[in-house]
Amino acid sequence: MLQNDDLARFLFSSALVALIFSWVVWILSGKSRTGRQPPLPPGPPGLPIVGNLPFLDPELHTYFANLALEYGPILTLRLGKKVGIVVTSPSIAREVLRDQDITFANRDVPAAGKEAAYGGRDIVWTPYGPEWRMLRKVCVREMLSNASMDSVYALRRRELRRTINYIYRRRGSPVNIGEKMFLNVLNVITNMLWGGTVKGEERGSLGAEFRTVVAEITELLGKPNISDFFPGLAPFDLQGIRKQLKGLTRRFDRIFEVMIDQRLDMEEGKGDGDKETKDFLQLLLKLKQEGDSGETKTPLTMTHIKALLMDMVVGGTDTTSNAMEFAMAEMMKNPEIMRKAQQELDEVVGRDNIVEESHTHNLPFLYAVMKEALRVHPALPLLVPHCPSQSCVVGGYTIPKGARVFINVWAIHRDPSIWENPLEFDPERFLVSKFDYSGNDFSYFPFGSGRRICAGTAMAERMFMFSLASLLHSFEWKLPEGEEMEVSEKFGIVLKKKTPLVAIPTPRLSDPALYDD
């Protein structure tokens, strides 16, 4: 028989052994659970604290594509305190943008984006939820619907005719096509936004001011920002990017305030029988008024209106004009393609007439030219980075919550396993294939996919086709003497042509009166 002291020691020792055994089992089971958690995707080694930041190439789209050749179609980069994930295959893009669309429906909002878009209250940066759904509805169902786009066609047409007239007066002289298309798109967009408000010389000066401000904003949005990679330093704005954007946004805000006040004054002074072409600002103010009546759960505010105007002006100008510049450059580099496009225009429109937007539905070859230009030179080569709302598994790897996820659509569009002769500009491929940019095919999705697919696709298509058709139909184009065509790219938020396209127009229509605005 054990004595009391011996019994106590025995029970204590047994309990201690049991406790230690349980602790060991818990630790081992925890390690086992951790072992089953997939790792981060592979990636290049980095330095302490800064990670891979010192090694980033300014041409990010090609740098990421080269890394994918070494580390695979999904890889990790350490960007200071941020984890960057780069996706370079259709199957993994599908996982992100469709299979786990809700998880990845948010954005990793940069400090510059917050400052440039009224605190990120626009459709690009607003988190997925009721507010974003309201903005998406306003854009897709109201402002950018086919009916709304049809209602402002007269404004769109008037501005394009002015551009064609300007080029006609410059016939035989060099024209900077990218610059001219930027101003054309900018004036078209501002005309659609408040075309019934601004008249005469005031509209011209407003366009010039917008061009200057847009160029400065897009440059700042494209700069690497310490505030994004080290959030703890964001309050100090070490590079002054937020301060500069604040000043530029104030300039926009003053313009928006003037336009809004003028539109409100016009609405108050109109009688019930007054009719005129509605512009987008008029529509937005009407939707806000309906929300003020308490009928909308998530009302449209004046801040939302200004943020949407900002999206239209900044987001719609560079993307469309640069895409048209690339298309023109590729056709001039391949004269047979330009000849086919012009022959199609002559058959559909004729040289005794001018292009109308209704003609573009009967131009399959030119439509293929547009699609091929967006394949070879997608306007947003890395789309807008996505951000998972929770940690998840993609492609067999863990993607941590809050990571910045880049979809390298530029590399996917040039993948030789998908595209035959991918570096060749060949619109014919879209005459025999079913590729479109609806976001359903992850081999070709220049406007993105899923819930955050570009809301302005329909408007971009109309403006691209109408403007490009008018340029090709109205003029022959050639390079200045001694110049050679090149189509090299410069990376940015929006992909740009490294060397501006300057070409000489020669009228090709039968009657000079067809060039009147």
* Each residue's pLDDT tens digit, 194-209: 875 555 556 556 666 7
Is residue 43 situated within a structural domain? no
Is residue 505 situated within a structural domain? yes
Task: Supply 185's token pair.
Answer: 């798109």
pTM equals 0.88
Token pair 């220049």 is found at: 446
- What does the alpha-carbon distance between residue 485 and residue 502 come to, in Å, rounded to a whole number? 10
378: domain range?
53-515
Is residue 19 situated within a structural domain? no
Is residue 242 situated within a structural domain? yes
Task: Supply 199's token pair.
Answer: 């008249």
- What does the alpha-carbon distance between residue 312 and residue 335 come to, in Å, rounded to a whole number? 34
- Give the model's pLDDT for residue 30: 45
Q: Which stretches in the chain have pLDDT values below 50?
A: 1-2, 4, 6-8, 10-12, 14-19, 22-33, 273
Is residue 467 situated within a structural domain? yes
- Give the model's pLDDT for residue 18: 46
- Give the model's pLDDT for residue 22: 46
- Segments in 415-517 forming alpha helices (H): 429-432, 457-474
- Give the model's pLDDT for residue 293: 60
The pairing of beta strand 175-176 with beta strand 502-507: antiparallel
Is residue 12 situated within a structural domain? no
Count of other CB atoms within 10 angstroms of residue 78: 21
- Give the model's pLDDT for residue 190: 84
- What does the alpha-carbon distance between residue 77 and residue 404 come to, in Å, rounded to a whole number? 10
- Give the model's pLDDT for residue 125: 94
- How many CA atoms are closer than 13 Å to the CA of 128, on its beta-carbon side? 16
List the beta strands (DSSP E) in 422-516.
475-478, 489-490, 496-497, 502-507
- What does the alpha-carbon distance between residue 27 and residue 439 come to, in Å, rounded to a whole number? 46
In this structure, are residues 147 and 141 in contact, taking their beta carbons and an 8 Å threshold?
no
Is residue 32 situated within a structural domain? no
Cα 214 to chain centroid, rounded: 15
Distances from the Cα of 147 to the Cα of 59, 151, 308, 360, angstroms: 40, 6, 19, 17
b/e burial code for range 445-460 (CB count within 10 A of at least 16 → b): bbbbbbbbbbbbbebb
- Give the model's pLDDT for residue 2: 42
- Cα angle value 346/349/355 (rounded, 5°): 115
- CATH number of domain containing 203: 1.10.630.10
Mean residue pLDDT of the chain comes to 88
CB-based burial of residue 165 (10 Å sphere; 0-12 exposed, 13-18 middle, 19+ buried)?
Answer: middle
Q: What does the CA dihedral 89, 94, 96, 99 come to, rounded to 10 degrees?
A: -150
The count of structural domains within the chain is: 1
- What does the alpha-carbon distance between residue 439 and residue 98 come to, in Å, rounded to a whole number? 9
- What does the alpha-carbon distance between residue 454 and residue 113 come to, in Å, rounded to a whole number? 17
Is residue 445 situated within a structural domain? yes
- Give the model's pLDDT for residue 294: 61
| Helix axis angle, 316-333 to 177-194, nearest 10° | 140
- Give the model's pLDDT for residue 11: 43
